[in-house]
Amino acid sequence: MKITFMGAGSTIFARNVIGDCMCSESLRDSVFALYDIDGERLEESRTILEAMRTTMGGYGKIECYLGVENRKDALRGAQFVVNAIQVGLYDPCTIIDFEVPKKYGLRQTIADTLGIGGIMRALRTIPVMADFARDMEEVCPDALFLNYTNPMAMLSGFMQRYTGIQTVGLCHSVQVCVETLLRNVGMLDKLDGHRSLIAGINHMAWLLELKDKNGVDLYPEIRSRVDAYIENPDNYDKVRMEYIRNFGYYCTESSEHNAEYNMFYIKSKYPELIQRYNIPLDEYPRRCVAQIEGWKKEYAQLLESGIKEHTRSLEYASHIMEAVVENKPYQIGGNVLNKNHLITNLPAEACVEVPCLINGSGVNPCYVGALPVQCAAMNMTNINVQLLTIEAAVTRKKDHIYQAAMLDPHTASELDIDTIKKMVDDLIEAHGDYLPTYH
C-alpha cells in the first residue's frame, strides 16, 4: 500500500500523521511517499521519519519526491493522499496577508480560514490543489484525499465540487471541543462517557448536544456558568462562551479564530473589546516565528539525542485509513459537500462539517437535519464568503474577489466598498506570481 504526503516539509505534522500510521499493524508496512518543493525541509522530514521507522521496528519504506516534475510519481498508485501544503509559506505570503490589510486599519488574528487573509490564502492554494487533482485523476483516481490545509471549507469544497477526487477535510478542533468546554466551566468530571453531536461548518461547527454518560443534558449547567467565565479577566476563550450566551451553543474552533469570523469583536471604534475579550491580534505571525525557531532547536536536539517511539495522536488520518483498509467502522467529524442536504438549512454546494462513518466503502456522511436558525445564520455569513472565493478561483473574475471581501463580516464591518476594492487590488499585486491572473 502507498500513502502519499503532500507538503511533507511540514515535518512536525508529517511526523504525527506518518508516525500514527507506523503505530497501526495494517498501515505500518506501507510505502510512505513524501512530496515537497523545498529540498531542505523534505530532507529534514526524511531524516526524522527514517529514524522513527527504525526505532519502531523498521516496517515500511520511505520515498522522497522533490519538485513539481516528480509530483506524479509521488502520487502514482497511492491509496491515500494526505495534504498539508502551505502555498507561499509564512514569508512572504502570510506576512502580506496581515501587513497589507493593516495599512487599511483592518486587523486580524489568524487569517487562515476566513476574512481577507483566508480569501487570499484560498486563491493562491486552489490552483495548486487543482494541479494535484489532475495528476491524481491520471495516476491514482481511486485514492482518498485527506485535506488538512486551510482554509478548510474553501479548499475541500473546491475539490468536492470541481474535481473527481474523493475528498474529506479534516480538522483538529472537533476532537478537543467538548473537553475544552468542560474544562473551561469546571465540569471535566463529566467528560468520561459523554455523548455529543457537532455539526455546522469548519471552525464554526456547533456543539448541538452534550450529555453525560447517564444521558443527562449538560447544557443547562454549562449555561449557568458562562457569565462567571466571561467576567474573569484572565480567561481567553471568551468569544466562544459569548456564543453560548448570545446564540445558545458553543462551537468547535478557538476564540482567537472566531474573533475574526464575525462583525462583533475586532472593531476600531470599540478598541476596549480587544482587552475585554483577550483577543490576540496578529497572533498567527507570532506563532509562525515561534514555530520556525522552535523547530530548529527541536530538530538539533532530535539529531543529538535520537528519535524515540511515537505515541499515536488524536489526528483522524491514520484511523480513517485503518477503517477503510480493515473495513471496520470509525466515526469522525468530517468536512464534506452538503449534497442531499445533510444540513437542511444550509446550501447544497456548501462544505459542511458533520459526523461521518468510515468503513471499507470510504467516507459516509451522516444526515443531521436543520441547525438552530441562529446557528445556520451565523454559518451563512461565512459560507457566503467561501462560495464566492471558490467562484473567483474557478472563473478568475476579480469581481468575485471583491464580492467575497465585501461580504466578509469582519471586513465589511470596518471598511467601505471602495476601500475594500483598493485593498484587494493591493493584495493581488503584493502576491505577484503566487496568484494567477484575474480579469
Determine which one of 172, 203, 319, 431 is catalytic.
Answer: 172
Q: What is the per-residue pLDDT for 297?
A: 85
Q: Nearest CA to 251 among 220, 206, 203?
A: 206
Grade residue 131 by pLDDT with cuts at 50, 70 and 90.
very high
Q: Are 79 and 1 in contact (CB under 8 A)?
A: yes
Integer angstrom CA distances of residue 232 from 225, 226, 278 = 11, 10, 11
Q: Is the pLDDT of residue 296 over 90?
A: no
pLDDT at residue 300 in the model: 85
What is the model's pLDDT at position 427? 98
Closest by CA position to 348, among listed 404, 387, 321, 310:
387
pLDDT in tens, 277-291: 999 999 999 999 998
> What is the spatial distance between Cα 94 and Cα 117, in angstroms, rounded to a whole number?
8
Q: Is the pLDDT of residue 308 over 80?
A: no
Contacts (Cβ under 8 Å, ≥6 apart) of 439 = 396, 397, 398
Residue-level pLDDT at 306: 75
**pLDDT for res 301:** 82
Q: What is the mean pLDDT of residues 416-435?
A: 98
Looking at residue 1, its pLDDT comes to 97
Average pLDDT over residues 429-435: 98
For residue 109, what pLDDT band results from cuts at 50, 70 and 90? very high
How far CA 421 is from CA of 97, 101, 399, 407, 416, in Å, comes to 15, 11, 9, 12, 9
How far the first Cα of the chain sits from its last, in Å, is: 44
**Residue 4 pairs with which residues in a beta bridge?**
33, 81
pLDDT at 365: 98
Q: At what angle do helices 373-395 and 115-139 cross, to 10 degrees?
A: 60
**Closest listed residue to residue 307, CA positions, set 72, 95, 57, 107:** 57
The CA-based diameter of the chain, rounded to the nearest angstrom, is 61
> Is 172 tagged catalytic?
yes
Query: Does the pLDDT at position 328 exceed 90?
Result: yes
pLDDT of residue 355: 98
Residue 19: its pLDDT value, please?
A: 95
Give the pLDDT band (50/70/90) at residue 384.
Answer: very high
What is the model's pLDDT at position 11?
85
- Report the C-alpha gap between 215 and 403 in whole angstroms: 45
What residues have CB less than 8 Å from 149, skipping those under 6 apart?
7, 83, 84, 85, 86, 125, 155
Q: Across all residues in the chain, what is the average pLDDT?
A: 96
Q: Are 24 and 322 in contact (CB under 8 A)?
A: yes
- d(CA 309, CA 53) in angstroms, rounded, equals 9
Per-residue confidence (pLDDT) for residue 135, from 0 to 100: 98
Q: What is the pLDDT of residues 78-87, one digit of tens each?
A: 999 999 999 9
pLDDT > 90? residue 330: yes
Q: Does the predicted model carry a pTM greater than 0.95? A: yes
Least confident piece of the model among 36-45, 117-126, 306-315:
306-315
Lowest-confidence segment of 255-264, 307-316, 339-348 by average pLDDT: 307-316
> Cis bond leading into 151, ω under 30°?
yes
Question: pLDDT, tens digit, for every residue of 210-251?
Answer: 999 999 999 999 999 999 999 999 999 999 999 999 999 999
| Cβ–Cβ under 8 Å, residues 21 and 318 | yes
Name the pLDDT band for 204 (thresholds 50, 70, 90): very high
Q: Is residue 49 a contact partner of residue 35, using CB atoms and an 8 Å limit?
A: no
Cβ-based neighbour number of residue 269 at 10 Å:
7
